[in-house]
């Protein structure tokens, strides 16, 4: 199922995003690697259904924000929601597209997916470099009966500006006062230990390659790379597995109107079944369009995905947005995205 999804879409990287030849019904987007598997699947299905092409490049949330601000793509994508001030400053509309989960993944011989247990504090101390060996008592006490090697822990993090990193560090800041005060949160932080990989793809590849490593990726990358994910203790004290039901439970109480640009953070939400590191991923488009036909094609694509892409999202362990939320999003398209004469694009 994932083989064709992860195949890189046809964007001429060597010549830069701005030089991609765009046809009447072709659109370009760039940004977060977190949703790349589902965006690529939606794009493939959309082309089969309509003949229209969506070229999306997985370059990280920071890159996606820069590209849409520079107007070199038709839409940007970011897991780190922009603040209201930054949206206003850059004339952007932001809306969520899909929900997924960030998971810790390990490369330990004999450890199966979902076997190892972590608390938020334990993950923070591993990434702070305080816990250096896999058989450390803090890990062993949480995992009785699991054979843990005495090898060093190799910490892997994102080297690029990353919304997945924002989600991960935002979560660690919520569960560890030490992490919050010494490292904090953001698309890029000063990592106390480890080595970096570019994109969810890069982190997954490093963890797959190096025995004794730990990293964090969107769940689809863990499955596609056959990596062993861990259980994580949630706010209610329950150890839960990452799955669609757990991501949906974390998003169940989301108040999308409470944050500018619908930029709700879903980390460490209450609920016995809630996955504690859950994230929405967001789309960014210019409010004032000097290429209204291109903007209309972007909105047509996401309208199609909201209506027709729910099953594929579920198949890949993402959570589609509820109909009430997509109705709200369409209202924003109509009211906020206009051509240079002030006429609505959608």
* pLDDT tens, residue by residue, 297-324: 999 999 999 999 999 999 999 999 999 9
Contact 276/234 with Cβ under 8 angstroms?
A: yes
Q: What local confidence, expressed as pLDDT, does residue 71 receive? A: 96
Residue-level pLDDT at 15: 29
Residue bearing tokens 């702070």 = 128
Rounded CA separation 301/306 (Å): 9
Residue 116: per-residue pLDDT: 98
Q: Are 192 and 126 in contact (CB under 8 A)?
A: no
CATH of segment(s) 13-101+279-339: 3.40.190.10
How does strand 26-31 pair with strand 53-58? parallel
How far is residue 146's CA from residue 195's CA, in Å, rounded to a whole number?
26
**Tens-digit pLDDT string for the chain (346 aa):** 433 433 333 333 332 333 333 444 699 999 999 999 999 999 999 999 999 999 999 999 999 999 999 999 999 999 999 999 999 999 999 999 999 999 999 999 999 999 999 999 999 999 999 999 999 999 999 999 999 999 999 999 999 999 999 999 999 999 999 999 999 999 999 999 999 999 999 999 999 999 999 999 999 999 999 999 999 999 999 999 999 999 999 999 899 999 999 999 999 999 999 999 999 999 999 999 999 999 999 999 999 999 999 999 999 999 999 999 999 999 999 999 999 999 999 8
Neighbours of 138 (CB within 10 A): 14
* pLDDT at site 319: 96
Q: How many CB atoms lie within 10 A of CB 169?
A: 28
Domain residue ranges in the chain = 13-101+279-339, 102-252
Question: CATH for 102-252, among 3.40.190.10, 3.20.10.10, 3.90.650.10, 2.60.40.3080?
Answer: 3.40.190.10
Residue 223 exposure: Cα atoms within 13 Å on the Cβ side:
18
Domains 13-101+279-339 and 102-252 are alike in CATH topology = yes
Longest Cα separation, the chain: 68
pTM for the model stands at: 0.89
- Note the pLDDT of residue 298: 98
Q: Where are the beta strands (DSSP E) in 13-68?
A: 26-31, 53-58
**Number of Cβ atoms within 10 Å of the Cβ of 215:** 30
Map tokens 């977060």 to a residue.
32
Residue 80 and residue 35 in contact, taking contact as beta carbons nearer than 8 Å: no
Cα(201)–Cα(199) distance, integer angstroms: 5
- In the DSSP assignment, the letter for residue 8 is P
* Positive/negative CA dihedral, 341, 65, 282, 6: positive
Q: In this structure, what token pair is assigned to residue 11?
A: 């964007």
pLDDT of residue 227: 97
Best CA proximity match to 313, nearest among 335, 264, 280:
280
Please report the sign of the dihedral spanned by the C-alpha atoms of residue 231, residue 236, residue 238, residue 240: negative
- As a whole number of angstroms, the distance between CA 67 and CA 56 comes to 12
The pLDDT of residue 200 is 95
Other beta carbons within 10 Å of 143: 18
User: What is the per-residue DSSP string for 88-153?
Assistant: HHHTEEEEEEEEEEEEEEE--TTPPTTTSEE-HHHHHHHHTTS--BTT-HHHHHHSTT-----PBP
Asked if 63 and 160 count as a contact pair (C-beta separation under 8 A), the reply is yes
pLDDT computed for residue 21 by the predictor = 39
Q: Is residue 198 helix, strand or coil?
A: coil
């Amino acid at each position: 199922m994932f083989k064709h999804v992860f195949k890189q879409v046809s964007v001429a990287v060597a010549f830069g995003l701005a030089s991609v030849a765009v046809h009447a019904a072709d659109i370009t987007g760039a940004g977060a690697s977190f949703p790349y598997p589902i965006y690529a699947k939606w794009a493939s299905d959309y082309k089969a259904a309509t003949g229209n092409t969506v070229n999306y490049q997985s370059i990280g949330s920071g890159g996606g924000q820069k590209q849409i601000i520079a107007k070199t793509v038709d839409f940007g994508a970011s897991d780190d929601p922009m603040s209201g001030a930054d949206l206003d400053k850059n004339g952007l509309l932001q809306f969520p597209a899909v929900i997924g989960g960030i998971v810790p993944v390990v490369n330990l011989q004999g450890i199966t997916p979902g076997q190892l247990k972590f608390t938020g504090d334990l993950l923070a101390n591993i990434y702070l470099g305080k816990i250096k060996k896999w058989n450390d008592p803090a890990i062993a006490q949480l995992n009785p009966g699991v054979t843990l090697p005495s090898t060093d822990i190799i910490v892997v993090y994102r080297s690029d500006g990353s919304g997945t990193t924002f989600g991960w560090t935002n979560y660690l800041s919520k569960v560890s006062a030490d992490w919050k005060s010494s490292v904090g949160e953001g698309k890029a932080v000063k990592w106390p230990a480890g080595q970096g990989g570019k994109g969810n793809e890069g982190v997954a590849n490093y963890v797959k390659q190096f025995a004794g490593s730990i990293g964090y990726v969107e769940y689809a990358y863990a499955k596609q790379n056959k990596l062993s994910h861990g259980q994580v203790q949630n706010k209610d004290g329950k150890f839960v597995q990452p799955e669609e039901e757990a991501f949906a439970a974390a998003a169940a109480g989301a108040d999308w109107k409470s944050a500018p640009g619908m930029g709700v953070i879903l980390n460490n939400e209450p609920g016995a079944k809630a996955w504690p590191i859950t994230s929405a991923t967001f789309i960014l488009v210019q409010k004032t369009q000097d290429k209204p036909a291109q903007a209309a094609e972007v909105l047509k694509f996401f309208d199609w995905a909201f209506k027709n892409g729910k099953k594929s999202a579920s198949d890949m362990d993402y959570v589609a947005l509820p109909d009430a939320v997509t109705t709200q999003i369409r209202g924003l398209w109509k009211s906020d995205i206009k051509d240079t004469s002030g006429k609505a694009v959608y």
